[in-house]
């Protein structure tokens, strides 16, 4: 009697490099979300660094947000989000 042959075909998404890429994308996405959400509570630290000569770290750290806020939609969303923390 012939024994059944198991299906040993592996898909490309099961490969080790694909799992590493997915893990990396998840980590970057997680930290990007944390970065964006941190702009609300730290807005006044950035404001102090930008206008009152406070710690320069916040001005440098949130520079990408400042550039993104040149877009009107992003700017409106940012002001709406920051208003939660004011």
Residue 6 lies in a domain: no
Contact indicator for 58, 48 with CB cutoff of 8 Å: yes
Q: Closest Cα partner for 63 from 41, 35, 82? A: 35
Which pTM value belongs to this model? 0.66
Where on the phi/psi map is residue 53: left (φ > 0), alpha (ψ -120 to 50), or beta?
A: left
Angle at 33 between CA 25 and CA 73, to 5 degrees: 115
What's the chain's average pLDDT? 86
Number of domains observed in the structure of the chain: 1
Residue 69 lies in a domain: yes
Percent of the chain with pLDDT over 90: 48
Residue 44 lies in a domain: yes
pLDDT tens digits along 40-57 = 889 889 889 989 988 999
Domain that holds residue 79: 40-86
């Amino acid at each position: 009697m012939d024994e059944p042959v198991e299906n040993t075909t592996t898909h490309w998404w099961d490969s080790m490099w694909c799992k590493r890429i997915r893990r990396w994308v998840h980590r970057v996405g997680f930290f990007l979300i944390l970065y964006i959400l941190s702009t609300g509570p730290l807005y006044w630290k950035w404001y102090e660094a930008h206008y009152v000569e406070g710690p320069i770290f916040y001005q440098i750290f949130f520079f990408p947000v400042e550039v993104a806020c040149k877009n009107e939609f992003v700017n409106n969303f940012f002001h709406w989000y920051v208003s939660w923390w004011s």
